[in-house]
């Protein structure tokens, strides 16, 4: 994923693209929404694009489709457990002897599970003897 440029080029390109998209559309309806584009680092104004009701619905459909395609889906409990097990094995292989719940937070989005689910799963693994609880909350021994 590209990073935002400090000079705001991406904001200006986005504003130009939206302005062209709105201008060449054959919808001559009245303005239903206004998109205001600002650029970093001071978030200075770049442009305002007025869009019609029809254009608003079209852009919302594009965003919904993108969200649907890019939202992590809930992994089965077995798949989520396999991902957590692989991450624990990875840490063990890297020479770590403990694992903290926060070490696995990045996996939450990948498996569609909450941080609380991950913490509970680590507790279950401790109950099963696969990892050991330590005196520190949310920290487990993986040796």
Q: Cα(70)–Cα(91) distance, rounded to whole angstroms?
A: 28
Q: For residue 60, how many C-alpha atoms fall within 13 Å in the half-sphere facing its CB?
A: 9
Residue with tokens 């040796």, as numbered in its chain: 143
Residue 70 pLDDT greater than 80, yes or no: no
* CATH architecture designation of domain 77-141: Orthogonal Bundle (1.10)
Segments making up each domain of the chain, as ranges? 9-70, 77-141
The answer to whether the beta carbons of residues 4 and 10 sit under 8 Å apart is: yes
The answer to whether the beta carbons of residues 88 and 99 sit under 8 Å apart is: yes
The torsion angles phi and psi of 130, rounded to 5 degrees, stand at -80, -30
- Three-state secondary structure call for residue 79: helix
Q: Report, as an integer, the average pLDDT of 78-89.
A: 90
Task: Give residue 17's pLDDT.
Answer: 87
Kindly state the percentage of the chain with pLDDT values over 90: 27
Contacts of range 86-91, beta carbons closer than 8 Å, 24 or more positions apart: 88/125, 88/131, 88/142, 91/142
Structure tokens at 106: 């990045």
pLDDT tens column, 99-130: 999 889 888 878 888 888 999 999 999 999 99
Lay out the sheet containing 139-141: strands in order across. Answer: 98-100, 139-141, 132-133
Residue 19 pLDDT greater than 80, yes or no: yes
The answer to whether the beta carbons of residues 97 and 60 sit under 8 Å apart is: no
Residue 45 pLDDT greater than 80, yes or no: yes
């Amino acid at each position: 994923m590209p990073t935002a440029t400090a000079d705001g080029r991406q904001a200006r390109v986005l504003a130009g693209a939206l302005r062209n998209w709105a201008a060449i559309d054959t919808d001559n309806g009245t303005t239903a929404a206004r998109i205001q584009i600002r650029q970093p680092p001071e978030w200075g104004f770049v442009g305002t694009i007025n869009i019609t009701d029809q254009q608003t619905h079209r852009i919302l459909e594009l965003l919904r489709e993108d969200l649907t395609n890019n939202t992590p889906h809930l992994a089965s409990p077995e798949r989520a457990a396999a991902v957590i097990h692989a991450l624990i094995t990875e840490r063990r292989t890297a020479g770590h002897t403990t694992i903290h719940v926060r070490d696995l937070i990045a996996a939450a989005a990948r498996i569609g599970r909450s941080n609380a689910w991950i913490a509970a799963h680590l507790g279950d693994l401790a109950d099963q003897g696969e990892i050991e609880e330590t005196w520190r909350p949310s920290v487990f021994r993986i040796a």
